[in-house]
Amino acid sequence: MFYHVKELQYHAKPEKPDPLYAKKLQEILGGQFGEISVALQYLFQGWSVRGDGKYKDLLMDTGAEELAHIEMLATMIARLLDGAPVGDLEKAAKDPIIGAILGGMNPQHAIVSGLGALPADSVGNRWTADYIIASGNLLADFRANLNAESQGRLQAVRLYEEATDSGVKDMLSWLIARDTMHQNQWVAAIYELESKENIVVPSTFPKELEKREVSYALFNLSRGNESATGRWANGQSIDGQGTFQYVEQPVPFAPEPKLTPAPPYIHNTLPSILKDGTNLMPPSKY
């Protein structure tokens, strides 16, 4: 159950409006690695933990925080949109800044959301739950989380570089710091689980059931041997269970497949036509 207070976790106030930047900032609100993604990803993972304790609590702590970040970004974007220009391109075009804004702002910020934030990314794609991950295996999921915080901090940093407004930068410096913590925390949790299990997810699948002969082989399928010099091609495997090998000329292990013809009620191309292949085409009419 959730309680809301109307104060913000941190300031979200720009010096002045900037509709073009509002459009860009949508990326870390409603994009693939925006705050909606991490909030719902952590909450869904937490709700699915089949057991109690610190991992579940950590997920719920962080999920609740990300809701606050959605709120900060929604507030910032609404303020960046204050007084967004609409209207007469000819007049506006005399002022190149307004021209760029009219050409570049997200038109839905005026037409659809009435100067509010959208649950969408910087090009206007609506957020989708295709972005989120919750498998019930915490080592797998914490890796998803580490990736999300890595991509998210990278995007926030790039937006910082694109910003000139001190209020925007101030807020981003908060979000970037929180992403530093979140990367640290998921790495800590990952190390702990890896030390109890193994680095390979899931650790509970019996080794003898996999084809061990290719569990540590790098197949050189892109011509050139640069990858042969990497750690992944030499020495003990990272999981300590095998030895990396480099297969310079990988070959197929199975013959060309031949598929059985479909039954007549499927109405695929008839086997007789496929087999025969005689060219009955009449002379070109051109």
Distance CA 167, CA 190 (A): 35
- Positions 200 through 219 that interact with a second copy (CB under 8 A): 200-202, 204-205, 209-219
Instruction: Tell me: is residue 4 an annotated ligand-binding position.
Output: no
Instruction: Tell me: is residue 220 an annotated ligand-binding position.
Output: yes
- Positions 249 through 278 that interact with a second copy (CB under 8 A): 250, 252-271, 273-278
Binding mask 150-169 for a second copy (x = CB under 8 A): xx-xxx-xxxxxxxx-----
Which is nearest to 2 in space by CA: 56, 68, 92?
A: 68
State which residue, 38 or 139, has the beta carbon closest to a second copy: 139
38 lies in the binding site for a second copy (CB under 8 A): no
40 lies in the binding site for a second copy (CB under 8 A): yes
Q: Are the CB atoms for 201 and 139 separated by under 8 Å?
A: yes
Query: If you search the block for the tokens 């036509």, which residue do you land on?
Result: 273
Site residue total, a second copy (CB under 8 A): 210
Instruction: Tell me: is residue 66 an annotated ligand-binding position.
Output: yes
Query: If you search the block for the tokens 């989120």, which residue do you land on?
Result: 132
Beta carbon of residue 239, minimum distance to a second copy (angstroms, whole number): 6
Residue 168, CA distances (Å) to 12, 60, 116, 180, 214 in order: 7, 28, 17, 18, 50
176 lies in the binding site for a second copy (CB under 8 A): yes
Beta carbon of residue 38, minimum distance to a second copy (angstroms, whole number): 13
61: left (phi over 0), alpha (psi -120 to 50) or beta: alpha
Instruction: Compute the residue count for the chain.
Output: 286
Question: Going by C-beta distance under 8 Å and a sequence separation of 6 or more, which residues neighbour residue 247?
Answer: 217, 218, 219, 220
80 lies in the binding site for a second copy (CB under 8 A): no
State which residue, 38 or 55, has the beta carbon closest to a second copy: 55
Instruction: Tell me: is residue 149 an annotated ligand-binding position.
Output: yes
Work out which of 22, 35, 38, 68 binds a second copy, going by CB under 8 A: 68
Distance CA 56, CA 46 (A): 5
Per the annotation, binding residues for Mn(2+) are 35, 66, 69, 149, 182
